[in-house]
Amino acid sequence: MVQSLIRALDGAHAVSEAMRQIDPDVVAAYPITPQTAVVQTFSEYVADGLVKTEFVAVESEHAAMSACVGAAAAGGRVMTATSANGLALMWEVLYIAASLRLPIVMTTVNRALSGPLNIHCDHSDSMGARDAGWIHIFAENGQEAYDNTLQAVRIAEHRDLLLPVMSMQDGFITGHGVDRVEVLPDEAARQFVGPFQPTFSILDIDQPLTIGAWDFYDYYFEHKRQQSDVISKALPIIEAVGEEYGELTGRRYGILDTFGMEDAEMAIVVLSSTAGTARSIIRRARAEGVKIGLVKPRVFRPFPDRHLVEALEKCRAVAVLDRSISFGAMEGAGPLFLELCSAFFAHKKCDTTIVDYIFGLGGRDVLPEHIEQAIQDLQQIVRTGKRGPLVRYLGLRE
Amino acid sequence: MPEKLLTWNKVRMGGMVTDPGSSVEYLTGSWRSTRPVQDMEQCTHCMLCWVYCPDASIIVENGRWTRFDYDHCKGCGICADVCPVNIKKPHPVTGQMGKVIQMVPEA
């Protein structure tokens, strides 16, 4: 195990630090709050000669991802970062990056999609891109943001995957919040990430190839089926990389992060930084004898249905907290809820009542009393056997 | 056409094309609804049709063009459109006056 150094870093700088250690071949990026510091700081490293990265300052996020696709196709290790409408602007190219099997690593600092204009945290941006074929990993805090960035490179470049990875952290909350972050020594980080060995390059004139060619109706379907098969095999790889990272650093990572689930009758399921708030309230509730636990998925794509069902199936009531609305979904639900319910149904677990809480949109604070409200509601569901509203709201003026 | 279409687990990663010039194997001649026919006797071999053909379907041998590649010609009619030669005798295939290359319905 290698001793890490303790630094005071906000989430954005935890990532730029990891990027400095990774020293990718190319970074093509466009600024957007609250991601800006990630790439801005990294560009200083480039200017100061601390990295050998070719930094391409492009005219938009669409151009950023397009340049990343080109660089990755040419056999480069490529990274970038974005948020919200920046992610939305590169939407079509996300699909291209994934379908052409380019192992690009992108930090997405979660921010609300406009409109009206809001620069604060919610998950509508990355959730809006959940079908594009990228792997989605969420960090709860600055430490996880740093650790996930290093692991993301290994996950993306794994021979059996070769898929782009989106590494999330909450905008402002994590991104601008200074945290105690343990950082690996440069050499250890570099060794863990290793050199990039591209499986193909369009600059290789001895093995000429065409990528992204016209794919007629006689083959497109088969290519998409293949792509679906590949991403469905990502979870064991993510686990293996997390295990190896744990051996190296003492900080082990998996698919879910659970707390208090051993004897839990009820559970809260939530992604990212709000899990931190939830955990402390749940700890207090457990001390008072309430049988409640927390499940924090670290991976959202591929969706860890088996892991989640296994963790939650003994619960009588589950509250999913969604930091985005899937507009038009049944009863205004959010994506985490919708997919969890599908998983329960598919695995024939019908004894658990699952309800959805939309919270924190546009950076609306989620406070301890909101978590307490959810816990009380769950207790009522268990006590009365009545579900009540399927979708509820925390922190909304109603 | 490749003899048998591949199943999803046999296709190349990301639909990558690794053999250069492989589009030759993809026979697009079946897409035609009209085909070009030529009057070689009156042709001046100016090669304008060869320059313009988007499917490389004007076959040239020893500095003269000899035939259409009907395996790949899609019948777009550009060759007939750009041919600059007005024939002096009726076209051997269509019996019409007009250009060296004329379009006829695919049988």
- Pairwise CB contact (< 8 Å): A223 & B17: no
Closest Cα in chain A, distance from residue B102 (Å): 30
A233 in contact with chain B, both atoms CB, cutoff 8 A? no
Percent of all residues in chain A with a pLDDT value above 70, rounded to a whole number: 100
- The residue in chain B having the minimum alpha-carbon distance to the alpha carbon of residue A98 is B14
Check if A100 contacts B (Cβ < 8 Å). yes
Which residues in chain A have their CB less than 8 angstroms from residue B20's CB? 208
Which amino acid appears at position B21 of this protein? G
Query: Chain B closest CA to A70's CA: distance in Å?
Result: 15
Q: Does A227 touch chain B (CB under 8 A)?
A: yes
CA angle A141, A145, A151 (to 5 degrees): 140
Read off the tokens for A230: 């590949």
Between CA A342 and CA A350 the distance in angstroms is 11
Tell me the CA distances in angstroms from B75 to A103, A276, B58, B91, B100, one per residue in order: 42, 66, 12, 18, 16
pLDDT tens, position by position, A322-363: 999 999 999 999 999 999 999 999 999 989 999 999 999 999
Residue A206 sits at the chain B interface (C-beta within 8 Å)? no
ipTM field: 0.85
Q: List pLDDT tens digits, range A265-300.
A: 999 999 999 999 999 999 999 999 999 999 999 999
pTM for this predicted structure: 0.93
* Chain A residues inside the 8 Å CB shell of B5: 218-219
State whether A208 and B20 contact (CB < 8 Å): yes
User: A199 contacts in B (CB within 8 Å)?
Assistant: 13
pLDDT digits (tens, 9 = 90+) for A61-81: 999 999 999 999 999 999 999
Query: Quick check: A209 and B9 CB within 8 A?
Result: no
Contact A223 B8 (CB under 8 A): yes
Cis peptide bond prior to B54, omega within 30° of 0: no
| pLDDT tens for each residue of B30-48 | 999 999 999 999 999 999 9
**B70: CB partners within 8 A, 6+ apart:** B29, B32, B35, B57
pLDDT value, residue B20: 83
Work out the mean pLDDT of chain A and round it to a whole number.
Answer: 97
CATH topology of domain B13-105: Alpha-Beta Plaits (3.30.70)
Q: How far is Cα A330 from Cα A341, in angstroms, rounded to an integer? A: 12
Candidates A210, A220, A221; nearest CB to B17: A210
For residue A26, pLDDT beyond 70: yes
Closest approach of B15 to chain A, Cα-based (Å):
6
Q: Hey, which residues 272-311 in chain A have their CB within 8 Å of chain B?
A: none
pLDDT for the residue numbered A344:
98
B7 contacts A210? CB cut-off 8 A: no
- Amino acid identity of A222? E
pLDDT of residue A234: 98
- Which domains, and CATH codes, for chain A? 5-249 (3.40.50.970), 256-394 (3.40.50.920)
**In whole angstroms, what is the distance from residue B37 CA to residue B94 CA?**
8
B16 touches chain A (CB under 8 A): yes
Using CA atoms, how far apart are residues B80 and A375, in angstroms rounded to an integer? 78
Say if CB A371 and CB A281 are below 8 A apart: yes
How do residues A87-104 score in pLDDT, each as one tens digit?
Answer: 999 999 999 999 999 999
What backbone phi and psi angles, to 5 degrees, belong to A265? -95, -25
Where chain B has pLDDT below 70, the residues are: 1-3
CA distance B36 to chain A (A): 26
Q: Do B17 and A207 touch (CB under 8 A)?
A: no
B30 and chain A in contact, CB less than 8 A: no
B8–A100 CB contact, under 8 Å? no
What does the alpha-carbon distance between residue A152 and residue A161 come to, in Å, rounded to a whole number? Answer: 12
Residues on chain A touching B15 (C-beta within 8 angstroms): 99-100, 211-213, 215, 219-220, 223
d(CA B101, CA B84): 9
CB A318 within 8 A of CB A266: yes
- For residue A319, report the phi and psi dihedrals to the nearest 5 degrees: -110, 120
User: Shortest CA distance to B14 belongs to which of A235, A302, A210?
Assistant: A210
pLDDT, position B1:
54
Chain A / chain B CB contacts < 8 angstroms: 48
- State yes or no: pLDDT of A186 exceeds 70: yes
Buried/exposed A292-302: b ≥16 CB within 10 Å, e otherwise? bbbbbbbbbbb
Q: Which string of DSSP letters, residue by residue, matches A254-271?
A: -SEEEES-TT-SEEEEE-
